[in-house]
Amino acid sequence: MCTVCVWAKKGQPVFSARNMDWAMDMDTDLWVIPAGQHHRAGPESEANVLEWTSKYGSVAASAYGIGTADGLNEAGLAASALWLSESTYGPRDESLPLMVISFWCQYYLDNFATVAEAVADFETNPYQLQTAEITPGRSTTIHLQLSDATGDVAVLEVIDGAFTIHHGTEFTVLTNSPTYDQQLENLKKYKGFGGDLPLPGTTAPVDRFVRASYYVGALPTTESADKAAAEILSVVRNAAQPYGTVDPERPNVAPTIWTTIRDHTDLRYYFQASTSPYPVWLDFSKLDVSVGAPVKCLKLDGSEAQLGNQSDALVDTDLFDFSVG
């Protein structure tokens, strides 16, 4: 469930986009989170927990009001959480600082300007992830995609407690199962990637991965940010699951409930719910994300009033409480 793709070509703005595919409403709202926020990414009962004070302000899309699912920070770094059934986080290793998974996206949005910085930091400051019941009634198992204003990308996965990081500009697409190394191997079977198979058409994660990879590579270069947004949107729409379609026998396939577009160059974050014909966006040039600025929220209601730039519709509020277990 979910597709994310990155489009970076010399001479044009860097864009990325993602679909959130899920079988139910996630009560998603948009948050403007200024720098200077302190987070402790675990329960009070745990002694060794990762803590930080955010260096960068961000715009974040929340999941169930208890975690960040997607976002873009003021330096142009984006983070996206996508479901991965194979994710297993292992037994607690108390020698490593703990981070509950609800904080995973926000940790990177808060602390890093580039993917290279984020990857280098993990190599010197490793941590341990712990799942949480962000999704009502089930433990959350996800992998993470990071992308930045240079077009650099990293995919982070945790299997049996061990991290694997795929880092490089060639890793432009992420979907769901199987693990990323297997997705890359499967891609080689198709025309344009070394194989003979024609472009697949189903909504299965492996097929979405191939199709999105093909179309990202086929997009024409443009210097226009508006055209770039439209072009990357056309790719994720090609990988979307029609709204309202649920297949109980294929839990890795669910309707696309919302889509985001991230302009890493000009720092604009677009959001469109599948239940609304009206796209909204937040432009960092009109936001105050400096230390001491208030947290702001846009409650997404799908009304006609929520169309276009919503900077003036944001309301001062307290930040949601991240799940710690």
What are 282's two structure tokens? 């937040």
Element (H, E) at 282: strand 280-283
Q: Is the peptide bond before 200 cis (omega within 30 degrees of 0)?
A: no
Residue 38 DSSP label: E
What are 171's two structure tokens? 């890793």
35 close to 57: Cβ distance less than 8 angstroms? yes
What are 235's two structure tokens? 């790719």
Active-site annotation, residues:
2
Between β-strands 68-73 and 38-40, what pairing exists: parallel, antiparallel or unpaired? unpaired
Q: Using alpha carbons only, what angle is made at residue 12 by residues 229 and 258, rounded to the nearest 5 degrees?
A: 20
Residue type, 95: S
175 close to 212: Cβ distance less than 8 angstroms? yes
Element (H, E) at 238: helix 225-238
